[in-house]
Amino acid sequence: MAKQKVVIVGGGFGGVRAALELANDVRFDITLVSDKTYFEYHPTLYHTATGGLTCQSQVPLSTVFADKSVEVIVDKAAKLDRKARILTTASGKTLQYDTVILALGVVTNYFGIKGLQEYAYGIKSISDVTKFKEHIHQQLIDERKPDMHYIIVGGGPTGIELAGALPSYLHRIMKNHGIRERSVKVNLVEGAPRLLPRMPKSTSRAVQRRLKNLGVRLHLGKPVEGATADALVVGGKPIRSHTIVWTAGMANNPFFNENGFAFGPRGKVAVNVYLQADDNTYVIGDNANTPYSGMAQTAVYDGAFVAKNLKRILDGKDPKPYKPEKPVYVTPVGHGWAAALWGKIEIFGIFGWFLRSAADAKAFSEIESPMEATKHWFTEFGEQEDCKVCSHAMAS
255 binds ligand FAD (CB under 6 A): yes
Instruction: List C-alpha distances in Å: 30 to 24, 27, 82, 307, 314.
Output: 11, 10, 18, 11, 15
Single out the residue of 28, 35, 36, 15 nearest to residue 97, CA to CA.
28
Burial (CB < 10 A; 0-12, 13-18, 19+), residue 322, is buried
Among 5, 25, 29, 36, interactor with ligand FAD by CB under 6 A? 36
In whole angstroms, how close is the CB of 350 to ligand FAD at the nearest point?
A: 18
Among 14, 115, 154, 159, interactor with ligand FAD by CB under 6 A? 14
User: Distance between the two ends of the chain, CA-based, in angstroms?
Assistant: 63
Cβ pair 253, 107 in contact under 8 A = yes
377 binds ligand FAD (CB under 6 A): no
Site string for ligand FAD, 275-314 (x = CB under 6 A): ----------xxx------xxxx-x---------------
42 binds ligand FAD (CB under 6 A): yes
Q: Could you say which residues in the range 305-364 bind ligand FAD, by CB under 6 A?
A: 327
In whole angstroms, how close is the CB of 123 to ligand FAD at the nearest point?
A: 5
Q: How far apart are CA 216 and CA 185, in angstroms?
A: 7
The interface region with ligand FAD, picked from 34-42, 62-70, 113-121, 176-184 by CB under 6 A, is: 34-42
In whole angstroms, how close is the CB of 346 to ligand FAD at the nearest point?
A: 17
Instruction: For ligand FAD, give the closer residue by CB, 123 or 136.
Output: 123
Instruction: For ligand FAD, give the closer residue by CB, 12 or 164.
Output: 12
Q: How many chain residues bind ligand FAD (CB under 6 A)?
A: 35
Q: Work out the angle at residue 211's Cα, subtended by the Cα atoms of residues 210 and 214, and round it to the nearest 5 degrees.
A: 90
In whole angstroms, how close is the CB of 317 to ligand FAD at the nearest point?
A: 26
Among 48, 99, 208, 253, interactor with ligand FAD by CB under 6 A? 253
10 binds ligand FAD (CB under 6 A): yes
Q: Could you say which residues in the range 115-134 bind ligand FAD, by CB under 6 A?
A: 123-124
Among 8, 64, 70, 77, interactor with ligand FAD by CB under 6 A? 77
Cβ pair 340, 207 in contact under 8 A = no
Single out the residue of 382, 396, 386, 393 nearest to residue 138, CA to CA.
386
User: Which residue has the closest beta carbon to ligand FAD?
Assistant: 12
Q: Work out the angle at residue 29's Cα, subtended by the Cα atoms of residues 280 and 72, and round it to the nearest 5 degrees.
A: 100
Q: Residue 234's CB: how many other CB atoms inside 10 A?
A: 20
Which residues lie across from 34 on neighbouring strands? 74
Among 158, 187, 204, 290, interactor with ligand FAD by CB under 6 A? 158
Strands 77-81 and 86-89: antiparallel
Single out the residue of 319, 314, 318, 309 nearest to residue 1, CA to CA.
314
The residues of the shown chain that bind ligand FAD, judged by CB under 6 A, are 9-15, 33-36, 40, 42-43, 45, 76-77, 103-105, 123-124, 157-158, 253, 255, 285-287, 294-297, 299, 327
